[in-house]
């Protein structure tokens, strides 16, 4: 079965960017009110989550740390993700995303952490995982949640489109964890 070609329209990209901005504002506003701090560990988004959050006025009161852990070495040596997690499950996995979130939460002393790892494209280095396989994880209180965003199901998105969709969903997960426990 051939993968459908799909590119987001300019209007869709603008809507997604607007959603990212609104969700980041909601996250920051909520965290300020509740005196909650956030940290992020990003791979495929290269700091876009941290950028979205810190673009909101007042973010300096709640955003403690953002680490771009693009390489496996950085995930292991800077974040402290156990090598056995990456060896057992792969760098692009729910387990690695959770380990990244837990590690940045611990390193920063933040209350909540979000992490992403995945294949943004345009090509995959994996023989098994398609471009658009992205895991987002949130760790907060007793919540340890990771999900495969399965962006490939939308079609063959560009690298930037995969990254935007990842940031959007990661911020939505963060807000949901804060406000309703990911129900």
| Residue reference for tokens 């935007």 | 164
Model pTM? 0.94
Q: Where does the pLDDT of residue 1 fall: very low under 50, low under 70, confident under 90, or very high at 90 and above?
A: very low
Residue 5 has pLDDT above 90, yes or no: no
Domain boundaries, the chain: 10-180
Residue 6 has pLDDT above 70, yes or no: no
Residue 3 has pLDDT above 80, yes or no: no
> What percent of the chain shows pLDDT beyond 90?
87
Identify the architecture of domain 10-180 in CATH: Alpha-Beta Complex (3.90)
| Residue reference for tokens 């590690």 | 103
Q: Which residues pair with 68 in a beta bridge?
A: 42
How does DSSP classify residue 5? Answer: B
Q: Provide mean pLDDT across the span 142-163.
A: 94
Calculate the alpha carbon distances from 92 to 18, 114, 117, 146, 157 in Å.
27, 15, 6, 12, 18
When the pLDDT of each residue in the chain is averaged and rounded to a whole number, the result is 94
Please write the tens of the pLDDT for every residue from 61-95.
999 999 999 999 999 999 999 999 999 999 999 99
List the one residue out of 76, 85, 97, 90 whose CA is nearest residue 149: 97
């Amino acid at each position: 079965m051939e993968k459908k070609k799909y590119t987001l329209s300019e209007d869709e990209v603008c809507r997604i960017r607007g959603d990212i901005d609104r969700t980041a504002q909601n996250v920051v506003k909520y965290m300020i009110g509740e005196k909650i701090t956030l940290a992020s560990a990003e791979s495929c988004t290269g700091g876009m989550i941290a950028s979205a959050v810190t673009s909101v006025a007042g973010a300096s009161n709640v955003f403690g740390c953002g680490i771009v852990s693009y390489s496996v070495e950085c995930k292991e040596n800077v974040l402290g993700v156990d090598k056995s997690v990456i060896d057992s499950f792969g760098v692009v996995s729910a387990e690695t995303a959770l380990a990244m979130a837990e590690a940045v939460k611990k390193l920063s002393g933040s209350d909540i952490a979000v992490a992403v790892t995945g294949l943004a494209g345009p090509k995959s280095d994996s023989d098994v995982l398609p471009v658009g396989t992205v895991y987002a994880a949130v760790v907060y209180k007793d919540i340890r949640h990771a999900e495969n965003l399965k962006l490939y199901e939308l079609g063959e998105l560009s690298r930037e489109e995969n990254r935007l969709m990842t940031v959007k969903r990661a911020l939505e997960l963060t807000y949901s964890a804060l406000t309703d426990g990911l129900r």
